[in-house]
A and B are shown apart, each in its own frame.
Chain A
Amino acid sequence: CGFQLSGYQPLPESARHVSLILTSDTPANLERALKTSLRKQGVLITADAPYTLAIRNVQQNRRSITIDSNANVDEYEMLMQVTFEVMNRDQQSVSGELSAFTEKILDYDADKETASATLQRTIKREMWQTLADRIVRQYIARAQ
């Protein structure tokens, strides 16, 4: 059916180095996920690079999505949205505004708040990594 082992796509030379611009309120976990994802793709972060990956806006929200029989929160939904842009050396946008979005359901138990908080932290870290991978893949496609 036409599938073959994916061949070796060399990282385009122009995408090999990137400079990263974050807003002052970019969550540390997103920054960490971006750096991990870039490192995994073999991209080095340098101050002066042909292309810049600029994180414009990070929105995250936890809202109740289902309630139990006495109207207390049964499950939360975690939503995350990052808008970002790829710019060339003289800071002109080559991509226009891009966005990455993800959402996950979080079990919540008001009687086990501490455990729910730890669960949420792990799930959020996985979500930041999913977002970071999507952002980096779009960066590599644009930094040609």
Chain B
Amino acid sequence: DTEKPRPCLTNLPKQEACGASNGADNRPASQYSQLDWFPYAPGTAPGICSGRYIEPASISSDEGTDILDQPIIINAEQGSSSLGQGTKLEGSVDIAQGNRRLQSESATYDQVTGQLELNGGASYREPGLLLRGETAVANTNTLETTLTGAQYVMHERQIRGDVERITRRQDESILIEKGSYTVCPPGDEAWKLQASEIILDKSSGFGLAKHAALRVADVPILYLPYFYFPIDDQRHTGFLYPSISMSNDDGASISTPYYLNLSPQMDDTIVPHYIEKRGFLLENEFRYMNQYTHNTLTTAFLPNDNLEDRDRWLFSFVQPGRWTDKLTSEINYIHVSDNDYLDDLSTLADIDGDSHLSRIGRVTYTEELWQADFLLQGYQTVDEDTDRPYQRLPELTFNGDTDNNERIMNAALIAQATNFYRNNSGFTGIERANGGRLHLEPEIYANFVKPWGYIKPSAKLWYSNYNLTDADDFDSNPSTSVPILSIDSGLVFERNTEFVGTTYKQTLEPRLYALYVPYEEQSGIPDFDTTEYNFNYQSLFRENRYSGYDHIGDTQQVSLGLTTRLFSDLGRETLSASIGQAYFYSDRKVTLDDDESNYSNGDSSDIATAINWRANKRLDLSIDANFDHSAFRNTENNLSLRYRADENRIFNMNYRYAEGIREQSTFGFMWPVDKNWSTLGVWQYDWFNKNDVDLAFGVEYESCCWQTRVIVRNWLKDDDDKDTALYVQFVLKGLGNLGSNGGSSLLEKITGFKQRDDNNETF
């Protein structure tokens, strides 16, 4: 047929690239327009990528009906058909069924079998997918389409590749034979995965590559027989990206996790982790969720660790439960094979604790005004040179409080029975004691509450009774019963005021707290769960200067406090500043066994101040400072500044000073320099011992389909043993990361929160 005058340049099927007759294609021309890739005009790119995929306006089709029920509409320049059987079509053939379209130079269609053969440059389209190749074979009954010598594009996740054969199968998954997979824009060969077979399953959101070679800048750097990776935006919580890293004590290590989404309630992550100098660690995290509980079972096994020449394993079971809206439970059990397991090997399990790994089983019943709690708590001590902690086998707690502003007379009760036990070999004196403790705190108090103030007189009995074993020459049934009389009162003044240009409601809240606790000898009592509160503004208004129920601090004191707050009209407490001091009218004789007490026995306490300023959503500043009561010297200080504009713009600083004890500061930041470059760093310094505790600096470069980060870090690992490490991390967006993710503990210092290693978007 004669050459049709077409206002277009590309060499591809004329009609398609230059505006299909049946879909206005107002996309700008571009070098890769046949792959639907269109660069942004210079300077208008919203993100890092220089362009994006745009699908042509697809022909409208009634979405509702199943594709098989939709008519097949064929356009061509010439067609000859023996009715009901075969049809031959020539010249810009365009075949559409529902929202799927096939195009080529020529095609034959057998209506009986539904077999369609296209050649002379064939392309296949469906929403979100484009296949473009030499020839295509499709079937209108089975919806299967196969192209050879093709390129493919999955627009939404910016996935593309070239393949020898690609089949879009009936179950909507895509089978690629001898093909490549990358997220890099056309023309950018930063990395690609080449495999003999790749299956991309949109419904599960995962891709599977067999006999895959990873090529970075066209250099093959990794061969993996079996490789599993996410291909969609569905946030697969807990999905771990494959990662490769180098470190001097472990050598090279590769982990390629497999995520099995077994059912909406169940999923399983298997992480084979090959560590060159140790061996082969297999970790499995099985999660099962039902309406009552979230269960996470994590097991790991490393047969014969070459560095430690022993087997190493980990077992962890975590189950928060909510059985009714009143009954909740929690199980958190962890057991590791040896003390250094958590230092040497990473784990998916959520570990709480350093020297002692806590194991708890708890059931809690909560009513409107009271709560009952049954607890079993044990520990696995992994730090030999610390004292073994007491285990609570079990602890039963009841606490109730009528606590109601409307009613004047109120009562409260705390009742707790605990059996403390630990292996007491190696301890001496009262520290050898194990045994049961019954603690009762009945209280009656009055609540006079008005908008302008409150007064709350309270009378309470503090009663603890012990039944000790191995108490040697101490009384094995000591008991303490001490009354606690207190009056808490405060006034609230108000006015409107201006601060930094905006009007606020300002309150002024003086507070008077009088506390009387007579002295009773408590030296023969073990410190099962008692330690001393840190002195700060809150501690001025606590009944007991000790936490736990073993010791009640005797005192005759009056604490005075003054707080002012600024409230924005939206009820947000923008600023609160408090200052307070306690005046003692008797010496305080009760001390803890180790007798280290920071309450000076003078006639007044230090002055405690607390300021919290939340200027806006991004900035949060809090300063707690204590001053010596006589010389007004600053004795303790805690400054914490947090600035967080978004996930990539974070800056925080902590400064901890306690006279004669410690002076340390931590400073962390993560800040972008420009669209591609970003920097991060941590500086933790011990001013007391003039010593860098943690010093790290990292640079991040992000391009459209890969991201790399290099961190240099020097940190105090053990008393004076410093370690230096270089973390090089290379993330292939949409595929996985290469390089150690040792940076995650660093990130916790910057952001304050634990970053699950898999959270790769923000590293």
Contact = CB atoms under 8 A, between A and B. Distances in A.
Q: Give yes or no for direct A-B contact (beta carbon below 8 Å).
A: yes
B570 interface: yes
A6 B527 contact: no
Interface in A39-95: 39-40, 42, 59, 61-75, 77, 79, 81
A119 B638 contact: no
A28 B327 CA distance: 10
A139 to B, nearest CB: 8
Given A71-B719, A111-B386, A5 B531 contact: no
Given A110-B355, A138-B572, A105 B387 contact: no
B663 to A, nearest CB: 9
B405 A65 contact: no
B495 A116 contact: no
Contacts of A107: 531-532, 534
A45 B529 CA distance: 36
B494 A42 contact: no
Contacts of A1: 495
Interface in B166-192: none
Interface stretch (B47-55, B306-314, B553-561, B748-756): B748-756
B383 A110 contact: yes
A6 B507 contact: yes
B570 A142 contact: yes
Given A105-B656, A137-B571, A40 B494 contact: no
A108 to B, nearest CB: 9
- Measured as residues with beta carbon below 8 angstroms from the partner, the interface class of chain B is 35 or more
B493 interface: yes
B504 to A, nearest CB: 12
A28 B620 CA distance: 26
Contacts of B390: 114
Contacts of B716: 67, 71
Interface in B309-368: 320, 322, 328, 352-356, 358, 364, 366, 368
B508 interface: yes
Interface in B528-581: 528-534, 538, 547-548, 567, 569-573
A36 interface: yes
B202 to A, nearest CB: 28
B426 to A, nearest CB: 12
Nearest to A81: B753
Interface residues of A, number: 63
Contacts of A103: 622, 640, 642, 752
A5 B570 contact: no
Given A3-B494, A59-B753, A115-B530, A71 B718 contact: yes
A25 B528 contact: no
B617 A138 contact: no
A5 B328 contact: no
A32 B547 CA distance: 21
A115 B622 contact: no
Contacts of B642: 101, 103
A69 B689 contact: yes
B731 interface: no
A57 B492 CA distance: 33
A25 B420 CA distance: 30
A63 B749 contact: yes
B567 A137 contact: yes
Contact of B451 (A6, A81, A110, A141): A6
Nearest to B328: A28
A42 B508 CA distance: 22
A24 B753 CA distance: 20
Interface string B388-401: 01111000000000
B407 to A, nearest CB: 12
B453 A142 contact: no
Nearest to A62: B352
B452 A6 contact: yes
Contacts of A4: 493-495
Given A70-B718, A71-B717, A142 B571 contact: yes
Contact of A63 (B624, B662, B748): B748
Given A114-B390, A138-B571, A3 B495 contact: yes
Interface of B: 294, 320, 322, 328, 352-356, 358, 364, 366, 368, 371, 377, 379, 383, 386-387, 389-392, 403-405, 420, 451-453, 491-495, 497, 507-508, 527-534, 538, 547-548, 567, 569-573, 614, 617, 620, 622, 624, 638, 640, 642, 654, 656, 662, 664, 666, 686, 689, 693, 716-719, 721, 748-749, 752-754
13 contacts: A61-B752, A61-B754, A62-B352, A65-B656, A72-B354, A81-B753, A113-B353, A115-B548, A117-B377, A117-B529, A118-B529, A122-B547, A138-B572
Given A6-B452, A99-B617, A118-B547, 7 more contacts: A2-B497, A4-B494, A65-B664, A67-B664, A105-B656, A114-B390, A118-B529
Interface of A: 1-9, 24-25, 28, 31-32, 35-36, 39-40, 42, 59, 61-75, 77, 79, 81, 99, 101, 103, 105, 107, 109-119, 122, 126, 134, 137-142
